[in-house]
Amino acid sequence: MTEVQRPNPRLNEDLLFNAAPGGPPRYSHLSHRPVHHLTVADRDGAVIGYVWANDEDDAAGWVVRRAGGDEAFNKGARWARRLHDAKARGIVPTAALAEMIQESDPTKSSHVVPGSLTEAPNADAVRRLANPT
């Protein structure tokens, strides 16, 4: 005769998750106002994405070009991290862009394209620029 194995009752308990407020400070990822944006390219000059910012909405973001594949996605983490670090230091979004321009190094795996600071109608326009469909 086989004995029916019963699951451990601890494994059947409902889990209770409570959302914890807080976390690191972040720029908003939405802005329907005009934004400034930078073009970011890899060492070979291929565009991998765009960094955008708007001070009025305290908003900024990194948009990867999907056409760049996994490599563009991986290199883009550096730019997203720089935005997070800037917000943690209390820097307004466009000042974060200015830092990126100043500290850009074309010998790194990715860099700001010189002279690429441009204005767009809003963040969605930058997203469409990166990934036209």
Q: Where in the chain are the domains?
A: 29-130
Does position 104 have pLDDT exceeding 70, yes or no?
yes
Quick check: pTM over 0.95? no
- CB under 8 Å to 128, separation ≥6 — which residues? none
Residue 36: name the closest of 18, 66, 21, 56 by CA: 56
Coil, strand or helix at 65: coil
Summary mean pLDDT of the chain: 93
At 29, which amino acid appears? H
DSSP SS3 for 48: strand
- Distance between CA 120 and CA 23 in Å, rounded? 30
pLDDT digits (tens, 9 = 90+) for 8-57: 777 777 777 777 778 889 999 999 999 999 999 999 999 999 999 999 99
Q: What is the pLDDT of residue 61?
A: 98
Given a cut of 70, whether residue 58 has pLDDT beyond it is: yes
Averaged over 105-126, what is the pLDDT? 97
